[in-house]
């Protein structure tokens, strides 16, 4: 189980936990919650990076949206041109002390309020909910002297590249989480990351059916995630490794169902277009993948909204209990 030992307070089980799942499912958000709850929060560097990233995400998403909208009102044209220029030359426009910043901030706020943008957001929300949600906070985020809140940090989307390890001391455990990128081009690192692992947390988003992968304009994200889960669960390297399936973004499922019925992707769904039966159906789809081959490893499946601190902590207690019991069994004490 990848166990080590020792601390001054007595021996502690040390477990390496690998986070896997497709791009944007919420792996890094899991690590952020661990930092928030077990390390007292985020460093100044992390906070500053998030501030730049949030501003950049708003600007880039705005410009992408404006490019898709056929036309905006004449009086907004000047602001739109400024945004386009700033999006292609961020280094020149985004510095708070730079000569263009105030003008840019005004243009961003104006564009976020445009009726055309609000309509576009409503129709295309699930392309990028994390960025569209920020439009409502553009004034606050572009204000000089702005400091990101914990919620802002949890909401900030920054796709992971490479492999990153984070250690946390949690009661009787030393947990080392390994966060990898989930997009296809990043998955080459997964095999390496599977060495000396004590547990796997596979994260899937409940709100990603009916959408294409960011990296492939054809494949449905949830179908890809189901296939990926099957490969991970039955991977020979992980054959005996306890596994948690986290069905994330439960908070988005209701709205998602209203916009895209489950039947548009899963023709075999014959239940009502409601959260509970839809959740049951989706979780069964994942479990079916697991049951394709016999396995005796420990397994739990949990629904979660990883951006919600209270909900995350509840779910984390279940994960922790599983890690402790697997670790005790591994050491012959369970």
Distance (Å, whole) CA 197 – CA 34 = 19
Please choose, out of 20-28, 74-82, 225-233, 236-244, the segment that lies near Mg ion by the rule CB under 5 A.
20-28
159 vs 271, beta carbon nearer ligand GTP: 159
126 is in an annotated binding site: no
Candidate residues 18, 19, 28, 206; the one interacting with Mg ion per rule CB under 5 A: 28
Q: Which x/- pattern over 106-145 shows residues binding Mg ion (rule: CB under 5 A)?
A: ----------------------------------------
182 is in an annotated binding site: yes
155 is in an annotated binding site: yes
154 is in an annotated binding site: yes
**Rounded-to-10 torsion of CA 204, 208, 211, 214:** -50
Q: Using an 8 Å Cβ cutoff, are 306 and 179 in contact?
A: no
Closest CA to 203 of 228, 223, 220: 228
What tokens were used for 55? 């501003």
Residue 285's binding partner out of Mg ion, ligand GTP, none, with CB under 5 to 8 Å set by partner kind: none
26 vs 148, beta carbon nearer ligand GTP: 26
Kindly state whether residue 160 participates in binding Mg ion, applying the rule CB under 5 A. yes
Kindly state whether residue 14 participates in binding Mg ion, applying the rule CB under 5 A. no
What tokens were used for 302? 């949990």
Please choose, out of 33-41, 154-162, 231-239, 264-272, the segment that lies near Mg ion by the rule CB under 5 A.
154-162
> Beta strand 216-220 with 13-20: parallel, antiparallel or unpaired?
unpaired
57 vs 76, beta carbon nearer Mg ion: 57
Residue 289's binding partner out of ligand GTP, Mg ion, none, with CB under 5 to 8 Å set by partner kind: none
The count of C-alpha atoms lying within 13 angstroms of the C-alpha of 252, restricted to the half-sphere facing its C-beta, is 24
Residue 130's binding partner out of Mg ion, ligand GTP, none, with CB under 5 to 8 Å set by partner kind: ligand GTP
Query: What is the smallest separation between the CB atom of 305 and ligand GTP, expressed in angstroms?
Result: 4
Residue 173's binding partner out of ligand GTP, Mg ion, none, with CB under 5 to 8 Å set by partner kind: none
Query: What is the smallest separation between the CB atom of 27 and Mg ion, expressed in angstroms?
Result: 5
In the chain, where does DSSP find H-type helix?
A: 27-38, 44-68, 77-88, 90-93, 101-113, 115-124, 129-135, 138-142, 150-155, 190-193, 221-233, 250-259, 275-290, 309-330
Count of chain residues binding Mg ion (CB under 5 A): 3
Using CB under 6 A, list all residues that contact ligand GTP.
Answer: 21, 23-29, 129-130, 154-155, 157, 159-160, 181-183, 248-249, 251-252, 305-307
Neighbouring residues of 267: CB distance < 8 A, sequence distance ≥ 6: none
Q: Using an 8 Å Cβ cutoff, are 20 and 203 in contact?
A: yes
179 is in an annotated binding site: yes
182 vs 242, beta carbon nearer ligand GTP: 182
93 vs 166, beta carbon nearer Mg ion: 166
248 is in an annotated binding site: yes
N residues, the chain: 334
Distances, alpha carbon 61 to alpha carbons 129, 204, 220, 265, 316, in Å: 11, 24, 22, 26, 32
66 vs 304, beta carbon nearer Mg ion: 304
What tokens were used for 130? 């994390």
Chain residues that interact with Mg ion, rule: CB under 5 A: 27-28, 160
């Amino acid at each position: 189980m990848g166990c080590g030992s020792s601390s001054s307070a007595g021996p502690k089980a040390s477990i390496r936990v690998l986070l896997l799942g497709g791009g944007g499912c919420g792996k890094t958000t899991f690590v952020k919650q661990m930092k928030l709850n077990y390390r007292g929060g985020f460093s100044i560097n992390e906070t500053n990076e998030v501030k730049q990233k949030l501003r950049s995400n708003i600007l880039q998403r705005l410009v992408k949206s404006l490019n898709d909208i056929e036309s905006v009102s004449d009086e907004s044209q000047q602001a739109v041109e400024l945004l386009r220029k700033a999006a292609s030359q961020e280094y020149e426009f985004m510095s708070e002390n730079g000569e263009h910043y105030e003008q840019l901030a005004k243009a961003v706020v104006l564009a976020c309020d445009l009726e055309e943008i609000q309509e576009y957001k409503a129709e295309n929300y699930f392309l990028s909910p994390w960025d569209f949600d920020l439009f409502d906070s553009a004034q606050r985020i572009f204000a000089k002297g702005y400091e990101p809140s914990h919620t802002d940090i949890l909401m900030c989307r920054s796709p992971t590249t490479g492999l990153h390890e984070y250690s946390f001391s949690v009661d009787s455990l030393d947990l080392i989480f390994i966060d990898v990128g989930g997009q296809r081009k990043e998955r080459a690192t997964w095999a390496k990351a599977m060495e000396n692992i004590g547990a796997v947390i596979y994260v899937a988003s409940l709100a990603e059916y009916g959408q294409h992968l960011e990296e492939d304009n054809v494949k449905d994200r949830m179908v890809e995630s189901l296939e990926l889960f099957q490969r991970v669960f039955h991977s020979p390297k992980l054959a005996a490794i306890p596994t948690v399936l986290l069905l994330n973004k439960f908070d988005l499922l209701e709205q998602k169902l209203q916009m895209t019925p489950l039947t548009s992707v899963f023709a075999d769904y014959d239940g009502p277009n409601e959260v509970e039966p839809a959740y049951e159906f989706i979780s069964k789809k994942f479990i079916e993948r697991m049951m394709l081959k016999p396995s005796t490893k420990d397994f739990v499946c949990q629904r979660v909204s990883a951006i919600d601190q209270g909900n995350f902590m509840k779910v984390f207690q279940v994960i922790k209990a599983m890690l402790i019991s697997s670790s005790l069994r591994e050491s012959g004490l369970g």
